[in-house]
Chains A and B, each alone.
Chain A
Amino acid sequence: MSEPPLAVEADGLHKRYAAKVAVDDVSLSIAVGEIFGILGRNGAGKTTTVELIAGLRKPDRGTVRVLGLDVRRDRARLRQVLGVQLQSSHLHAALTVAELVLMYGTFYPDPLDADELIESVGLTESRRIRFERLSGGQQQRLSIALALVGRPRVVILDELTTGLDPEARRQMWTTVETLRDSGVTVLLVSHAMEEVERLCDRVALLDAGRVVALDSPAGIVGRAGFAQRVTFRASEPVPDGLLERIDGVERVRADGDSFVVEGSGDLLQAVSVGLVRAGVVVTGTRSEQATLDDAFVALTGRHLEKEESTS
């Protein structure tokens, strides 16, 4: 018996456009049933990576197998098992939701029921509306429905919730969780950390075309170098070395009367007790968990989302 194939197996992918290296030696192994996130800033190579995985572009070097199928050579079979929702692709503008779901369904041997699928992405009310008259969020939901209509076993969702309002975003997350429950492997491209933290089993962090970290969201957050951060203002001088001696404190930064304390464990409790014992009165105390963004800064020196204005 041979091992069951991985959902996605990318090996040493490399892609260059003219002067720019978009994807630089990317290797990924995604197990069947995983929700795998590709996270990175704009221009990090996320979209090129999934286009290579979807067999839409030819890599300069490297190979991709999806469920054991070579994406360049077994295209006909690949298209049966791989559903793709692409960023920035459009549909026949003058066709309605129902017409498009019907048409895309005919491409597959055993499509999902059109009405049920439309219902599952919340478009039942809009089923007779033309694509060009749908809102951005509705177009996005239709696009996801079309990626799912052929009962794929692996789905690529590129910027799933970009441009969606919070309500629609949560609906979409529920849809992805339902997919996981039915055993479908999901490759999720995103620059929304909340989305990745909530949905993904594992995340590859891409920066400048390279994988700089590959781990569970919690594992990546762990690379921020701290787990907790407590900030406060001291209304009187804090004795030297007081904070550093508190259990769990790893790093202290002071800027005038503002303090940032990073560490692990129940940091807020430990710092508060330590300050009270020393008789130091503080105000504006806040405590926060390290986030994927903190990890991103630690790994790449830049924020993930701050510079995002366009997508």
Chain B
Amino acid sequence: MTSVAAHRPGPRAWGVMLISELKMTTRDTAGLIVPFGLPLLILVMNAAAAAEQQIAHGRTALDVYVLPLVFTMVVATTGVINMPSFLAYYRRSGILRRLGVTPASPAMVLFAQVAVSVAQTFVGIAIAWTVAMLAFDAKPPVSIGAAIGVFALATAAMYAAGLIVAALAPTPNSAVAIGLALYFAIGALGGMFGGRDSLPGVLATIGEWLPFGAAVASISAAWIGAPVAAAHLIALAAGVVLGGVVGAAFFRWE
């Protein structure tokens, strides 16, 4: 009989896949404009006025409202639009199909995609924060630990939403369209185009429970040193679980 040991690609394979994804991303310069450029634009447009407006603990409206919004936008863009689009492109072009006949596992591809995408997010945020601090005198969050924790959870929730888009979109083009629609929907309900306060009551509540609104509210609370609402944390955590389950259950190579 044939004796074939079932071999799983090891850490080196994961590392090489990760580096390959990094190279793919940095060589596709057009794809970097939205996550890096758009938040910076929003920041610059709002920063001057907001930086004047004191809120509490020496934090201005820039720190408490604009920066959480900008950070959330960065992570929503990379998580909900870019990551599923990249996966959809891989699927359409047959790259996933080709990997599907090797011992590489879907988990390797997803891990590399998400890791590279998260790295993009951090670069986008670093750029925005550097500009905010140097040009507009932004201050760090009052509760730094809480801010980091909440942001990490918000990131996970956005990518979970992105995984749902990638897994459920019937065609590659629809993945981009669904990602964009979802981004603007949760963004609009979550305060991207003006405070949630100006929305009708029901919509404002829904927006608050969706990842965008929950992320902005939680980061904002941490920034000013206020307790983060448990409801927001639960909403984000539920999003992570849902996305992970749906993403894993419906992932396909082609």
Contact = CB atoms under 8 A, between A and B. Distances in A.
A77 B98 CA distance: 17
Interface of B: 1-2, 4-10, 12-13, 16-17, 20, 23-24, 27-28, 93-95, 97-98, 100-104
Contact of B98 (A68, A69, A76, A89): A89
A120 interface: no
Interface string A55-79: 0100000000001110000001101
B1 A2 contact: yes
Given A91-B98, A106-B16, A80 B1 contact: no
B24 A95 contact: yes
Contact of B9 (A54, A67, A90, A106): A106
Contact of B6 (A56, A80, A86, A91): A80
Contacts of B4: 67, 69, 77, 80-81
Contacts of B23: 94-95, 99
Nearest to B8: A76
B237 to A, nearest CB: 33
B242 to A, nearest CB: 28
5 contacts: A76-B6, A79-B102, A81-B4, A95-B20, A106-B12
Contacts of B13: 106-107
Q: Is the interface of A mostly helix, strand, loop or mixed?
A: loop
B5 A77 contact: yes
Interface of A: 2, 5, 54, 56, 67-69, 76-77, 79-82, 84, 86, 88-95, 99, 102-104, 106-109, 130, 146, 150
Contacts of A91: 95, 98
B155 to A, nearest CB: 25
Most buried by B among A56, A69, A89, A104: A89
| Nearest 7 A/B pairs, CB to CB | A89-B94, A106-B13, A94-B27, A84-B101, A76-B6, A79-B103, A90-B93
A83 to B, nearest CB: 8
Contacts of B12: 106
B95 A107 contact: no
A286 B4 CA distance: 55
Contacts of B2: 5, 67-69, 81
A5 B4 CA distance: 13
B16 A102 contact: yes
Nearest to A88: B94
Nearest to A67: B2
A93 B93 contact: yes
